Structure 1
Amino acid sequence: MILVNEEALDWHAGMTVRDVLKAKNYRFPLLVIHVNDALVPKKDYDTTRIPDGAVVKVIHLISGG
């Protein structure tokens, strides 16, 4: 199991950041992702593996003026 924004999510071997985003239905185009406090660049969402027990933070960036 992993925590995504403090909510439990079932973990599976080979799980990537992209898998987490799909599972949680995150579609916002401007996201900042941290896995165990390490920033994950957008280009690495498909290749960064999530370890069992990880803490994932997904932050929606909002701008305005």
Structure 2
Amino acid sequence: MIVVNGEKMEWAPGMTVKDVIRARNYIFSMLVVQVNGELVKRGTYDTAAVPDGATVDVIHMISGG
């Protein structure tokens, strides 16, 4: 089990940040992701592992005027 933005989510072996983004239907292109408080670089979402018990924060970056 992991926690994504404060909500529990089932964990699977080999889960990556990209898997979490897809499972939660986060489609906005400007995202900032932290796993256990550590910033994950955008180019590594495909390979960045999410361990069992992790806390994942996904933040949508929005700007406007």
TM-score if structure 2 supplies the norm length? 0.98
Cα distance in 2 between the residues matched to 1:44 and 1:9: 21
> Which deviations, in whole Å up to 9, do the C-alpha atoms of 1:10-65 show, x marking residues without a partner?
00100000000010010000000000000001100000000000000000001011
Aligned partner of 1:34 in structure 2 is 34
Equivalent position amino acid for 2:8 in 1 = A
Which sections of structure 1, spanning at least 5 residues, go unmatched? none
**One-letter amino acid of the structure 1 residue matched with residue 52 of structure 2:** D
What secondary structure, in the 3-state scheme, does the structure 1 residue paired with 2:19 have?
Answer: helix
Q: SS of 2:3's equivalent? A: strand
Distance 2:56 2:50 in 1: 9
Q: How many residues align?
A: 65
1:43 is aligned to 43
Percent identity of paired positions between Structure 1 and Structure 2: 57
Question: Which runs of no fewer than 5 residues in structure 2 stay unpaired?
Answer: none
Task: Find runs of 4+ consecutive structure 1 residues off by over 4 angstroms.
Answer: none
1:5 Cα deviation from its structure 2 partner: 0.1
Q: CA RMSD in A?
A: 0.4
The residue type equivalent to 2:40 in the other structure is V
**Amino acid aligned to 2:17:** V
